[in-house]
Amino acid sequence: MSGLNQRLHTAGHRRDLFWVAAIVHRVSGILLACFLPIHFLVLGLAIERTAALDGFLKWTELPAVKIAEAGLVFLLAVHLLGGIRVLLIENLTWRPSQKRLATAAIGTAGVVALLFFLRAL
Per-residue DSSP letters for 60-91? TTSHHHHHHHHHHHHHHHHHHHHHHHHHHHHH
The DSSP letter of residue 96 is T
**65 Rama class: left (phi>0) / alpha (psi -120 to 50) / beta:** alpha
The mean predicted confidence, pLDDT, of the chain is: 79
The domains found in the chain, sorted by start residue, are 3-120 (1.20.1300.10)
Find, among 113, 114, 106, 112, the residue nearest to 23 by Cα.
106
pLDDT, tens only, 91-107: 877 777 777 777 787 78
CB 77 within 8 A of CB 109: yes
| Confidence at residue 9, expressed as pLDDT on a 0 to 100 scale | 52
**34 Rama class: left (phi>0) / alpha (psi -120 to 50) / beta:** alpha
| Confidence at residue 13, expressed as pLDDT on a 0 to 100 scale | 59
pLDDT, tens only, 45-80: 888 888 888 888 898 889 998 888 888 888 888 888
